[in-house]
Structure 1
Amino acid sequence: MRSGVKVAVVGGVFLVVAGGVAYGGYNLYEGMTGGNRENGLAEKKTGPPTAEEVERTARDFLTAWAGGEPDAAAQLTDDPVAAGPLLGGYRSTAKVSAAEITPAAAVGPKVPFTVKATVTWEGRSKPWTYTSELTVVRGESTGRALVDWRPSVLHPKLTATTELSTGPAGTPPVKALDRAGRELTREKYPSLAGVLDGLRKKYGEAAGGKPGVELVLTSSNESAPDQTLLTLTEGEPGELKTTIDAGVQAAAERAVAKTPKASVVAVKPSTGEIRAIANNPPGGYNTALLGTQAPGSTMKIVTAAMMLEHGLVSGADSPVECPATVQWNGRTFENLKRFEVPNATFRQAFARSCNTTFIKAIKPLTEKGVAGSALGETARKYFGLGLDWKTGVSTYDGSVPDSEGTETAASYIGQGRITMNALNMASVAATVKNGAFKQPTILAAGAVGGGGAGDAGDADFATAQPMPASMAATLRALMRADATTGSGSKAMARVGGDKGSKTGSAEMGGQETSNAWFAGYAEDLAAAAAVQSGGRGGEAAGPVVAAVLSAR
């Protein structure tokens, strides 16, 4: 074994320690062929790798990697062309000057391991520790036991479109403040980690800070924020004031933590200012802002507006039909447990979330030739959905595409191809409360010399027409009925003040249980939540929204 690398057995597992660039620790010929030779040729093996092969392959790969031999390590994978540059970049780009890798006992073909690395930049060094795992597979063409190459072997967050690099940060750090000047940190508010990264990438230079030296995970996608994995030297942060309310944010974080795979957003109706964004789990994909799922019956808020706009109803007390079932184009749609409401009013049908009432709107709109386009037009015209929102961070702004046939009927109850997230539906509730759409934003007025709610820089914000006064009043009456006597009343019982809500559940292919949705407002705060596989909206998503509204 060459100097700089040591392999020892510790507690029944091997330990790979590399301090330089030397490489050794195994017979290279056996590492490449599997060790069985007859007449100078390797015998091709078949079947899953044996425990011995898993142990040896993992040891040899990790020894080569830790020893600074990327080409040798790459040849021990099933994709050396892809593995070589990433393994080489571990030292040349990520600036890892030394690495100690401690594998745990193999679990079948998988070998977990801990990396204790040292990152060095121009004489400054700092330790970097993380865990990952590799899987050993049988090479199809050679029969060799090889590491199943994936970028995540090198680091669990590394993908085919990201890179590890160390150097002066591309943008200075940002000290994000809430609306009252309280600092927002990812440690205290983990759901804001991605949001803070996005704000830094977009506004770091404008906020007036100075960059430090960092190990970052950069993405080839320009809209994706860099993720700082290690800070070698601190930069000087610039201050950026946001519209987040630390108290509401804390309540949102606590609320989603009680429910697996949940997201919630809170918005101030009178301004569009985003008060809270929370996801569970808090790391990874920001479902609250970027999710694209059917919103279920919360979409009936928009469908109700469409029915009012086209004169299918005139107010909350208009008579409507709410039969147990209704058919359209050969498909039967039904209410939950096939309930029906004889002699129903629009208010009662909304509060009971009567599917058939809203689907029946399709016939008169078909006669007018607008059934497939009316919902989308109303959504854009009054609610700003599907427009290009300039929120300050990356968001998905909703989609209500034109439809036909049974898909149109499904869209009226929030199914079909309609896609929304918690931000979109919080904005819908806020629009009803305010009577006019205010594009959501996370930047306070003048936060970076322009932009933000109420600032001259908001000229680029998406805009929509104010609702006719009678439409806004009717929608508020409908949502008030849901919050006080309807399907949302149990969840909203704890919420005081002028309030309104709408429940929803959306069936998703491949899920046994539907996603739960809930949108509501109380005074000048609106919120919406989605819970994956949560079932009924009032039971799973409703308490999340109620907790956020109660924190205002």
Structure 2
Amino acid sequence: MGKGVKAAVVGGVFAAMVGGAGYGAYNLVSALNGDGGAPEVKTGPPSAEEVAEASGKFFSAWEKGRAAQAAAYTNFEAPAEKLLTAYGEEAHITGVKITPGAAKGTTVPFSVRATVSYGKASKPLVYKSELKVVRGETSGQALVDWDPSVVHPALKNDGDTLVTGESASPPIVAVDRDDRVLTKEKYPSLGPILDTLRERYGDRAGGTPGIELVVRHTAGDAADTSLVTLTEGKAGRLPTTLSAAVQAAAEKAVQSYDESSVVAVKPSTGEVLAVANNRADGWNAAFEGRVAPGSTMKIVTAAMLIDNGVASMNGPAPCPDTATWQSQTFKNLPGLPANESATLADTFMRSCNTGFIKLVDEEPLTDASLTAEAQERFGLGRDDWKTGITSFDGSVPPSAGPDRAANAIGQGQVQMSPLNMASVTATAKTGAFRQPYLVPPGLDDRELATAKGLQPNTSYQLTQMMRLTATQGTARDVMAGLGGDIGAKTGSAEVDGQAANSWFTGFRNDVAAAAMSEAGGRGSEAAGPIVRAVLAAGG
């Protein structure tokens, strides 16, 4: 049968369908499939042939700049078309050549070579990415599983896009406290922070903008991520409080533990000496993290007990195996023997939970006492820190019921970041709250937060108990061999039945540091070695 005849037959069936409504539609399907049933929809993972065909069609359309066509080979056409259109029109990327690698199952790695052009300037663009081919849920077709990172690995969130043009902010040369240059190449975890500093202070640092290809992020207030510089602007010089030596130690230390963050501050001034993260998501959890700090919170709790006359470092703070507060039973970490004759110093340096739980209902303590101590003495939880970049000030809300007891040991509703706990240690060490900051406040006339700080006797007792913890208690092995005036507090925080988050904070001379490692176990197991390395470099 010739094509014309076949078309006539199909056309005749279509006419019958229109005349006979639903009945005609059923006959059309039957006639086209020849089996009297609906077309078969494929299921299961795409075959190797389907993976090659789907990815090949997508790559070909992308190379030719056919955004709509390439998007049609994905499982989310609308966002794919929008980003692929921006790839050519807003990012000014042309001459795209894609070289696929060997597929691993349904995943296809590939490399991209292209050119970015703007005005008379152009630069090569070379990078690697990967895509995955999946089965369409309704169509059964093999389709590219859409994700912005397919187009470029720096596109991490829906709505992120690529733009080439005059920089939103002039470039900066960030320098440390000794005028040493800080770059994301030498200090990788500073990358997002340097981008933020450029966005916030580029205009104030005296530079002029250049032409760049950037990732424009939509999540929160994230700064643009620079990918290719076509023409250099004039960089302004931006001072920071960081110490290149301490930063280098922090960068190296977090690399040994996944999902880890650390901050070091100078207690006598509040200056941030180092901030480092080793996280898959690239987030600055060191400044912005909001998680339970575990037993490192006992520094604040001990201060509350001392300030309210409930306990003193040499006064009784029995450590039984269990303690019950309003129907909830609390236990100590496995392996910690009970000590009914323990003092507060004993209970603190061995990190006994039950000893603190038994004291939180003493007069004159209330549901808001820990909150008041945190806010008034340690400057926490008031949303008024101005560090120079985005940061979290900690949260210690008034809590009734079992959470009042849980808060006292750094669980419950308490949330902290390593920055917060480094500040807590600095306040304990000096007795004065000095708000941490990364950029000198004189650069933009910021007013730093203030708080009462600690009474001299309270500061003395906290410092002594931290010294005992570092030399005789749970932090002894971690801190062994460090010279100078040292103190520490370990912590671990249970999270939804998963492995505990590891916390550790400590001081050495005029450096205080705190670290957290997600699912890192006890404080001495992951966070402790990180803090030790930082204190060794800076103390």
TM-score by length of 1: 0.87
Amino acid at match of 2:515: A
Q: 1:152 aligns with which of 124, 149, 154?
A: 149
Q: Is the 8 A contact 2:259 2:280 kept in 1?
A: no
Q: Is 1:384 equivalent to 2:379 in the alignment? A: yes
3-state DSSP of counterpart to 2:99: strand
Change (3 A) 1:112 1:518: same
**C-alpha distance in structure 2 between counterparts of 1:245 and 1:82, whole Å:** 43
Question: Could you report, residue by residue, the CA deviation over 1:322-362 in whole angstroms, capped at 9, with x for unpaired residues?
Answer: 11111122222112225212311111111111111111122
Q: 1:533 aligns with which of 515, 519, 525?
A: 519
Question: Could you report, residue by residue, the CA deviation over 1:67-107 in whole angstroms, capped at 9, with x for unpaired residues?
Answer: 11011111112221221111111100111011110111222
Amino acid at match of 1:375: L
Q: Is the 8 A contact 1:191 1:283 kept in 2?
A: no
Q: 2:69 aligns with which of 63, 68, 72?
A: 72
Question: Could you report, residue by residue, the CA deviation over 1:384-438 in whole angstroms, capped at 9, with x for unpaired residues?
Answer: 1112210001112211122221122111111112111111110100011110110
Counterpart for residue 421 of structure 1: 417
Counterpart for residue 166 of structure 1: 164
3-state DSSP of counterpart to 2:450: coil
Change (3 A) 1:84 1:237: same
1:488-527 matched pairs, under 5 angstroms: 488-511=475-498, 513-527=499-513
**C-alpha distance in structure 1 between counterparts of 2:478 and 2:313, whole Å:** 22
3-state DSSP of counterpart to 1:263: strand
Does 86-95 or 252-261 show the bigger shift? Answer: 252-261
Q: Is the 8 A contact 1:294 1:418 kept in 2?
A: yes
Q: Is 1:81 equivalent to 2:78 in the alignment? A: yes
Question: Could you report, residue by residue, the CA deviation over 1:290-309 in whole angstroms, capped at 9, with x for unpaired residues?
Answer: 11111110000001011112
Q: Is the 8 A contact 1:190 1:283 kept in 2?
A: no
Question: Could you report, residue by residue, the CA deviation over 1:163-197 in whole angstroms, capped at 9, with x for unpaired residues?
Answer: 11001101001100000100011111111111111
Counterpart for residue 426 of structure 2: 430
Amino acid at match of 2:88: R
**What displacement does 1:42 show?**
10
**C-alpha distance in structure 2 between counterparts of 1:93 and 1:494, whole Å:** 57
**C-alpha distance in structure 2 between counterparts of 1:352 and 1:343, whole Å:** 13
Question: Could you report, residue by residue, the CA deviation over 1:31-59 in whole angstroms, capped at 9, with x for unpaired residues?
Answer: xxxxxx858x9944321322222111111
Q: Is the 8 A contact 2:165 2:213 kept in 1?
A: yes
**C-alpha distance in structure 2 between counterparts of 1:60 and 1:257, whole Å:** 40
**C-alpha distance in structure 1 between counterparts of 2:405 and 2:324, whole Å:** 9
Question: Could you report, residue by residue, the CA deviation over 1:249-289 in whole angstroms, capped at 9, with x for unpaired residues?
Answer: 11111221222222111000011000001112487111211
Q: 1:328 aligns with which of 307, 310, 325?
A: 325
**What displacement does 1:371 show?**
3.5
Q: 2:466 aligns with which of 479, 482, 502?
A: 479
* Structure 2 unmatched ranges of 5 or more: 1-31
**C-alpha distance in structure 2 between counterparts of 1:462 and 1:422, whole Å:** 18
Amino acid at match of 1:380: Q
Amino acid at match of 1:411: N
Q: 1:399 aligns with which of 392, 395, 417?
A: 395
**What displacement does 1:222 show?**
5.7
**C-alpha distance in structure 1 between counterparts of 2:242 and 2:475, whole Å:** 26
Counterpart for residue 438 of structure 2: 442
Change (3 A) 1:89 1:69: same
**What displacement does 1:540 show?**
2.1
* Structure 1 unmatched ranges of 5 or more: 1-36, 451-456
Q: Is the 8 A contact 1:383 1:437 kept in 2?
A: yes
Amino acid at match of 1:545: V
**C-alpha distance in structure 2 between counterparts of 1:318 and 1:240, whole Å:** 50
3-state DSSP of counterpart to 1:211: coil
**C-alpha distance in structure 2 between counterparts of 1:154 and 1:140, whole Å:** 23
Q: Is 1:545 equivalent to 2:528 in the alignment? A: no
**What displacement does 1:125 show?**
1.3
Q: 2:222 aligns with which of 224, 228, 252?
A: 224
Change (3 A) 1:240 1:145: same
From the CA coordinates, give the structure whose radius of gyration is larger.
2
Question: Could you report, residue by residue, the CA deviation over 1:486-510 in whole angstroms, capped at 9, with x for unpaired residues?
Answer: 1112211222222211000111115
1:13-32 matched pairs, under 5 angstroms: none
Amino acid at match of 1:372: D
1:124-135 matched pairs, under 5 angstroms: 124-135=121-132
**C-alpha distance in structure 2 between counterparts of 1:437 and 1:414, whole Å:** 20
**C-alpha distance in structure 1 between counterparts of 2:220 and 2:494, whole Å:** 34
Tell me the percent identity. Answer: 49
Question: Could you report, residue by residue, the CA deviation over 1:448-477 in whole angstroms, capped at 9, with x for unpaired residues?
Answer: 3x4xxxxxx34x211111211111111111
Amino acid at match of 2:78: V
**C-alpha distance in structure 2 between counterparts of 1:130 and 1:322, whole Å:** 58
1:185-334 matched pairs, under 5 angstroms: 185-221=183-219, 223-281=221-279, 284-313=282-311, 315-334=312-331
The number of residues matched between the two structures is: 502
Change (3 A) 1:139 1:539: closer
**C-alpha distance in structure 2 between counterparts of 1:146 and 1:418, whole Å:** 45
**C-alpha distance in structure 2 between counterparts of 1:424 and 1:78, whole Å:** 43
3-state DSSP of counterpart to 2:393: coil
3-state DSSP of counterpart to 2:81: helix
**C-alpha distance in structure 1 between counterparts of 2:140 and 2:246, whole Å:** 58
**C-alpha distance in structure 1 between counterparts of 2:525 and 2:239, whole Å:** 35
1:451-466 matched pairs, under 5 angstroms: 457-458=445-446, 460-466=447-453
Change (3 A) 1:113 1:355: same
**C-alpha distance in structure 2 between counterparts of 1:527 and 1:235, whole Å:** 36
Amino acid at match of 2:461: T
**C-alpha distance in structure 2 between counterparts of 1:237 and 1:253, whole Å:** 25
Amino acid at match of 2:241: T
Q: Is the 8 A contact 2:330 2:353 kept in 1?
A: yes
**C-alpha distance in structure 2 between counterparts of 1:195 and 1:307, whole Å:** 38
Q: 2:106 aligns with which of 109, 112, 115?
A: 109
**CA root-mean-square deviation:** 1.9
Amino acid at match of 1:320: A
Q: 1:374 aligns with which of 358, 366, 369?
A: 369
3-state DSSP of counterpart to 2:174: strand
Question: Could you report, residue by residue, the CA deviation over 1:511-545 in whole angstroms, capped at 9, with x for unpaired residues?
Answer: 2x211111111111100111222212123222211
Poorly superposed stretches of 4+, deviation over 6 Å: none
**C-alpha distance in structure 2 between counterparts of 1:445 and 1:137, whole Å:** 52
